[in-house]
Amino acid sequence: MLATIKYSSKNHQIDLSKPIDISIPIDPAKKGVNAWYIDDPKIYPVVIEDWIATVAKGASINFNMIEFNPHSHITHTECVGHISKKVHSVNKNLNQFFFYAELITIAPALVDDDFVITKKQLQFALGAKKRDAVVIRTLPNLADKKSTRYSHSNPPYLLEEAAVFLREAGIEHLLIDLPSVDREEDEGLLLSHNAFWNTNGKLRKSATITEFIYVPNTVLDGTYFLNLMIAPFENDATPSKPILYEIIKN
C-alpha cells in the first residue's frame, strides 16, 4: 500500500506494506537485552487461590502480569522528565509520531579509554541535511546487540559536544542502539542528556531520546520516514516501536 507524504513542499511516496521494525522486544523465553544492574523482566500468569490464569492450566483466558523497566529491558523512548526534578510525561509531550529521519552508521572512536561518538563524526555523517530525527547505528553491529548484558561494561556513548551539535542542528528525536547516550558511570552528570534537552536554557519538552534500537545491516544509511510509536504510559519513558519506511524515488 503506497502513501503520499508532503515534506519541504515536495511530495514523496512510501510503501506502508514494507515496514522496517527497529525495536527490541521483551521475550522472557529468551536471553534479552539488559542494563542498569537489575533482574530480567518477567511475564507470568495471575494466580488467585487455585485458579491459574492460563489456558494451558485449564483457564478460559491467558491473563498475565508483566514486570519490567523500560530503561533496562526494551526499546524505549524518553523525554526530559527522565532527568528533571519535575517529572514530565513522554506520553503528554510527544504529540507527533511521523518524522523524516536520517539513518547513519558510526564506529565510536577511542578517546581516553572510552569509545565515544564525537561531534566531528556526526558532522561528517549528517552534513547539511535537515531532518526531524536521526537514527544512529553503531559498529560493530552484530545481532547479539538484542541480547547484550550491558551492566558494568562501560558501553559507547555520545560526547556532550555531539549532543549539542544535534540540538543545534534541529534534531528533535534521537534514536540510538545503545543503553544510554551518556557514560554508564558519570557521577550523575548526564552531560549528553542535559545538552540534548537544553536543561540550562529553554527546555525541549517535545524532544525525545530512544535507546536500545537495533537496525539490521541490510538496511542502508539514508533518509527514511519514521513512525515513532509509543505505549501510553504517563511516565518519563515508555516502551516504543520505531518503524522506518523507505522513501520511493520518483
Domain CATH code at residue 67: 3.50.30.50
Q: What is the pLDDT of residue 97?
A: 96
* pLDDT, position 210: 98
Distance of alpha carbon 244 from alpha carbon 242, whole angstroms = 7
Q: In the prediction, which pLDDT does 78 show?
A: 98
pLDDT computed for residue 2 by the predictor: 67
pLDDT at 6: 64
pLDDT tens column, 150-185:
999 999 999 999 999 999 999 999 999 999 999 999
Whether residue 20 contacts residue 173, with contact meaning beta carbons closer than 8 Å, is answered with no
Query: b vs e for 96-128, b when ≥16 Cβ sit within 10 Å of the residue's Cβ?
Result: eeebbbbbbbbebeeeeeeebbbbebbeebbee
Which pLDDT score is estimated for 249? 76
User: What pLDDT does residue 87 have?
Assistant: 86
Question: For residue 100, what are the β-bridge partners?
Answer: 225
Reference 149, options 8, 3, 229, 40; nearest CA is 40
Cell readout for 49 is 487461590
Q: How far apart are CA 162 and CA 65, in angstroms?
A: 40
What's the chain's length in residues?
A: 250
Q: What is the pLDDT of residue 221?
A: 98
Instruction: List CB contacts of 104: < 8 A, sequence separation 6 or more.
Output: 122, 125, 126, 134, 135, 136, 137, 221
Report d(CA 108, CA 95) in Å as an integer: 32
SS3 52: strand
For residue 40, give the DSSP letter. Answer: P
What pLDDT sits at residue 4? Answer: 72
Give me 182's grid cell.
551518556
Count the domains in the chain.
1
State residue 250's pLDDT score. 62
Residues of the chain with pLDDT below 70 are 1-3, 5-9, 250
Q: Which domain range does residue 110 map to?
A: 2-248
